[in-house]
Amino acid sequence: MSAEMTLPEGAPQEVVTKALVREIDLAAFGSSGAMALITLDNGLDHNRPNTFGPTSLQALDAALSDAIARKPVAIAITGKPFIFAAGADLSALAFLSDRSQSLAIGKLGHDIFRRFNECGIPTFAFINGLALGGGLEVALHCKYRSVASTAFTALPEVFLGLVPGWGGATILPKLIGPERAIQVIMLNALNNNTMMKAKDALTLGVVDAVFEPADFLERSIAFAVSVLNGSTTIERKDYSSDPAWESALAAGKAAALKKYGGAMLASPMKAIELISASRSNTLSQGFDAEDQVLADLTMSDSLRASLYSFNLIQKKRKKVEGAPKPALARKVAKVGVVGAGLMASQLALLLLKNLKCPVVMTDIDQERADKGVAWVKNELTKAVEKKRMNPEAALRLSQLISGSSDQNVFAGCDFIIEAIFEELSLKQELFKKLEAIISPECVLATNTSSLSVEKMSQGMKNPERVVGFHFFNPVAVMPLLEIARTSQTDDATTATAVAVGKELKKTMIICKDAPGFVVNRLLTRFMGEITDAVDEGTAPAVADSAMSSIGFPMSPFQLLDLVGPGVALHVSETLNENLGPRYRISPTMAAMVKAGVRNFYIKAEDGGVVANPVALALIPKGESASTPEQVRTRALNALAIEARMMLDEGVVATAAEIDLCMLMGAGWPMHLGGILPYLDREGISDSVCDSRFHPAGVASLP
């Protein structure tokens, strides 16, 4: 490794991906000569995909030289079972302290990958499994590509605050045209990092052939032979004069602005510039431009923040902080859902699809219970129609869901979750009734968003089996699950809740049973400052746009419309009662609920949205208007103060858990690195709390 390629001090040791070369005799495929096949393999199982750090890149370079020296009729590259390559090893990026280091890494990747296109021998990429970022880019440098039908591919760099920097931003637009390149590089990445299925990659022209995994390598070699002997011809189009360039670039820019609430972030804008330049740039010019952009981005706090967010999410998906030993979890073979409204029905569907065990729903009468069951079955039918589930699986699941008005059907349940009206006395009464029906080991979970879980268990014989199990709406989409322990919740109950959460594929945090738990407490405090500013006389448009420069996907009042004024008011009233007057009850919010006004924004005749005049008429005529900067400052200050109080109270154990909750449950932008690193970088933590939440260098330049 050259001196400039030495990993920065403190960076984790690179997991080296080896590149192994072997010759394939093509006689068995009806051709003469041999193919040199390079296989990428880091020696670990498929849970740790192949990645490219400096040493791995140099290993690939040496393997390619070896392959060329064998004078084969073709060179191909593939991966270990289930994995092609997941791209650059990002673990060291946060430790880069000099732009020249980043520039050298970018240039090294380009110099090695481009040899697949320039070696004078036909090259093939056999994408046998996951191919992300640099993994897909090394395939793009090859002349031809096949992919396994089960493989997923993507260029996720824009999602992470980067750009496709090893050829993707230059090669892909030339290969598939501007519209499709924008789809892959921009729209997919901004849509929560959507990956391409094999058939999508083929339709878009990213790959040339799709084969089933059972005989993928043999079929791919046969495909390569057919290309070599001319029986298969792959047409390539010149897109330089395509009339769609301007409209495609405009669509990419519009998508980025929408994603980040109108904020102009560097990563998506630089990606658009590179895609635009690829129209006239040579490959060398494009690669040089990618090197420069990548070097600039890696020296930004935005990238470090994105990497902090990404790594935090990946880590917490695998390990739940403070979780008891998994062996303590009880088996869950039958589940009950109390309630059959929309939220309860969503919960029933999620539990049914993932646990694949009997799920029984109840409501106050049979008609309502039947309606909930019908909704679940209808969703299963939709999944079949959309080819997301096969008919046999849907039929099996539909036979496992049932509904009743008699709570005695909960006998034999191992786990019951309630999603009834947010009234403490009703939930207390419910749990006492259920105790007479179920076993002492059955877990009783509540989906309450703000009420005291401990108070729900008061007077029960087995309060240790009660736990908060708070989902976010829509249940199937939102990844966060807050598990709230009371002072009496035992380890077996908590372990069972965590085990169920893992089956549901949720990212979980275990928190103290405190008002609003984590997300609702912080969001309500934040929203309260915005509505207070409006109540005091700030124009709604001013208050609602005060945070737009930060890059939120939606404004505070858009979020209010999503949650619903009724729910927001109830939560603020609960927090006001339990945490005091800093959680003020907005007169505007109370008036909207009293008048039955459900939306602050309504659709305009031109298809856009405008402020609801009925809602505007309910706002009191205050006399203390604030500027956007004042609104933003007071909202962020409030978040810092509340987060510090939550940590002092032990609501969660670490600052990282608060960051995770706001990223996964509140849509806090990835590029800000979580709420607390952002408050640290802006100096707000020191200003209002006299200390940072994280050590210096977390989610920022070292």
- Sheet of 74-79: strand order equals 18-25, 34-41, 74-79, 123-127, 144-148, 209-211
Q: Smallest Cα–Cα separation from 641: which of 559, 557, 554, 583?
A: 583
Spatial separation of the C-alpha atoms in residues 169 and 290, rounded to whole Å: 8
Spatial separation of the C-alpha atoms in residues 489 and 483, rounded to whole Å: 11
Spatial separation of the C-alpha atoms in residues 456 and 338, rounded to whole Å: 15
Burial of 130: CB neighbours in 10 Å, binned 0-12, 13-18, 19+? buried
Is the CB of residue 191 less than 8 Å from the CB of residue 203? no
Spatial separation of the C-alpha atoms in residues 638 and 531, rounded to whole Å: 13
Q: Smallest Cα–Cα separation from 671: which of 264, 88, 320, 167?
A: 264
Strand residue runs (E) in 49-104: 74-79, 83-85
Give, in order, the Cα–Cα distances in Å from 617 to each of 138, 590, 599, 611.
59, 13, 13, 11
Q: Smallest Cα–Cα separation from 514: which of 574, 462, 458?
A: 574
Burial of 9: CB neighbours in 10 Å, binned 0-12, 13-18, 19+? exposed
Q: What angle is formed at CA 490 by the lines to CA 489 and CA 491, rounded to 5 degrees?
A: 130
Would you call the peptide bond into 474 cis, given omega within 30 degrees of 0 as the criterion?
yes
Structure-token pair, residue 268: 């998506």
Residue at token pair 């083929």: 202
The SS3 of residue 230 is coil
Spatial separation of the C-alpha atoms in residues 400 and 358, rounded to whole Å: 5
Dihedral angle of Cα 152, 138, 50, 108, to the nearest 10 degrees? -150
Chain-centre distance for alpha carbon 560: 22
Structure-token pair, residue 514: 């405190």
Residue 139 amino acid letter: A
Is the CB of residue 259 less than 8 Å from the CB of residue 190? yes
CA atoms within 13 A on the CB side of 638: 21
Q: What angle is formed at CA 336 by the lines to CA 366 and CA 423, rounded to 5 degrees?
A: 75
Give, in order, the Cα–Cα distances in Å from 542 to each of 539, 556, 613.
5, 11, 16
> Kind and range of the H or E element at 646?
helix 628-649
Strand residue runs (E) in 14-132: 18-25, 34-41, 74-79, 83-85, 123-127, 130-132
Sign of CA dihedral 653, 654, 660, 663: positive
Q: Say if strands 209-211 and 335-338 run parallel, antiparallel, or are unpaired.
A: unpaired
Residue at token pair 């590259």: 77
Is the CB of residue 41 less than 8 Å from the CB of residue 122? no
Spatial separation of the C-alpha atoms in residues 134 and 166, rounded to whole Å: 6
Radius of gyration (C-alpha) of the chain in whole angstroms: 28
Spatial separation of the C-alpha atoms in residues 2 and 558, rounded to whole Å: 52
Chain-centre distance for alpha carbon 58: 32
The SS3 of residue 65 is helix
Positions marked active-site: 137, 157
Q: Say if strands 152-154 and 335-338 run parallel, antiparallel, or are unpaired.
A: unpaired
